[in-house]
Amino acid sequence: MSTTKSYLLTAAATVTVLLGGYAVYFDYKRRNDASFRRKLRQEKKKAHQFNEERAAERRRQQAEQTAKAGAAAAAGGGLGGAAGLGGGADIGVDDPVPAGQEERGEYFLKQLQQGETLLARGPSAYTEAASHFFAALRIYPEPMNLLMVFQQSLPQPVLELIMEKMAADVRSSEENYNTFPTNTQNVKVIEVKQTVNEAGKKIVRRGLVVQKDYNEGEEIYREDAVVGVVDSGLEDQTCQSCLSPLTAIATTLTTCTDCPSSFCSPSCLETASVQWHSLLCSGKSETGELVIELKQHCEEAKSTVAWGVAMFLAKMVWEEGVEAGEKGEWSTWDHLERLYDLKKASTEVEEKEAGLIRRIIAPSVPGFEEFLTTARYIQIKNKFLYNSYGVTLPLTSSPSNTAAPTTTTPRRTHTPSPNATILTLLTSYISHSCEPNVTVEYVSDYKKEGKAEVKVVAKKELKEGDEIFVSYVEAGERGVKERRKELKSKYAFHCKCTRCLAESEKGGTA
């Protein structure tokens, strides 16, 4: 479980369940009680002292237990899985994690206690102890903080076992590519070897290949956007939720009762309110002025990225409060963490944006102020900068001001004048080529309220197993030098697609 995902789950549960539950208790203890952080270390010292004092006694008892175990096995009685560990009070490492917050707290403490009990038995029980410590680590709101406590308090062999389990957990997560994307989307995520670094480690990238043949112009799949944001100055022309043009749906046009935001229908407003608008409404008495300030900042910066990140964070708070049975195998956080990002350092701009978003969301989400550090904000923003697509909405007029994003704001696009930015998950895996074989387009006839949608269309004939590519910049007839310069500036890579290599070999400027 990632730090980001775990913390927002805790924050969302705190808002929607109770203030006195597990999430608040542990967050409070983590931030305010220094003794809590020393608890495991102190108990480890006690266990170590006990081990020294009772070493001889344990050896004697172990010999007796071995003899008894042999006799019991011979008699067909077996050993039992929990002998000596408290009988019915035991908790297994594979026991399901409870859904309720108080029950999760009890589960966490029992896993720690079980680990400490096993640790006191010595090296022979280290493997099982590590399993219980790892089970506690996986559900702790700030696992990296707990891991640091483990590093200071647990024997090195136990810590190494925990780290091995963490690595195995990550590998298991990677295996989820067997179920993502779904078969109905007709594409598959693959790994493509790029090069080998100085240490001999294989450097790979991920991409998408089609699972069947396609003709030119044929639609491959559609995908809901996680976030869709129209360019500054066009807000009054589109639904703020699904980006549908408002001119064609005057009969169902709906406006928020507390702010000027317009939506294509009452149900689209309801969906937005539940998922993000309730936190980002400019009409809220406590935070409305801050929302307006954030929007004004986006206009002045000529970029809607900060607003997109704010929408994303608000949606994630909502998503982590959804019942477990209604979620997919991967959460949106899981997907986002696996996407590439730019490695841009934080500046005063990011500090301002992170500060505004903290002040907007924190009053409704306890602990959010501590969660959204500037460092964490820039990580999320860099994901947006690398993976967002610029799409063209079928609007009839130009922006009402001149604050539309400039070409310095990265967003993948093959058109000269996109007017909206969309973050997707599956489509973000499509790699770049200056000679693309697919296009990513906004679906203007989309009827599913609440979300924008894009479709991926074959630009030329494709055969099963072909990798699909889009152009991250407007390639057209531009020369290799110009294309590579823009790609390097926006996406920090030197393009070596087949077109760039061919043009370079023919004498073009590299």
33-45 pLDDT, tens digit per residue, is 555 445 545 544 5
What is the share, in percent, of the chain residues with pLDDT greater than 90? 40
For residues 206 and 429, the answer to whether their CB atoms sit within 8 Å is yes
Higher pLDDT, 215 or 509: 215
Mean pLDDT over 173-183 rounds to 76
Alpha-carbon distance values, 442 to 223, 224, 393 (Å): 10, 10, 7
Q: What share of the chain is helix, strand, coil (3-state, %, to 5)?
A: 50, 10, 35
User: What pLDDT band is residue 177 in, cutting at 50, 70 and 90?
Assistant: confident
User: pLDDT digit string (tens) for 428-446?
Assistant: 999 999 999 999 999 976 5
**Structure tokens given for 244:** 């549908």
Rounded to whole angstroms, the Cα distance separating 130 from 350 reads 39
Mean pLDDT over 371-380 rounds to 88
- Size (the chain), residues: 510
Question: Treating both helix axes as pointing N-terminal to C-terminal, what angle do 126-139 and 101-119 enclose, rounded to 10 degrees?
Answer: 160
Q: Quick one: pLDDT at residue 498?
A: 94
| Alpha-carbon 244 to chain mean position | 26
72, pLDDT greater than 60: no
Higher pLDDT, 411 or 416: 411
Query: Under the phi-then-psi rule, with left for phi > 0, alpha for psi from -120 to 50, and beta for the rest, what region is 243?
Result: left
3-state secondary structure of 250: helix
Strands (E), 341-391: 389-391
Rounded to whole angstroms, the Cα distance separating 272 from 281 reads 10
Rounded to whole angstroms, the Cα distance separating 206 from 14 reads 36
| Alpha-carbon 510 to chain mean position | 36
For residues 282 and 288, the answer to whether their CB atoms sit within 8 Å is yes
Q: Quick one: pLDDT at residue 328?
A: 64
Rounded to whole angstroms, the Cα distance separating 112 from 43 reads 11
Work out the mean pLDDT of the chain and round it to a whole number: 78
User: pLDDT digit string (tens) for 339-371?
Assistant: 888 888 889 999 999 999 999 999 998 878 888
Q: Quick one: pLDDT at residue 326?
A: 58
The DSSP secondary-structure symbol of 238 reads B
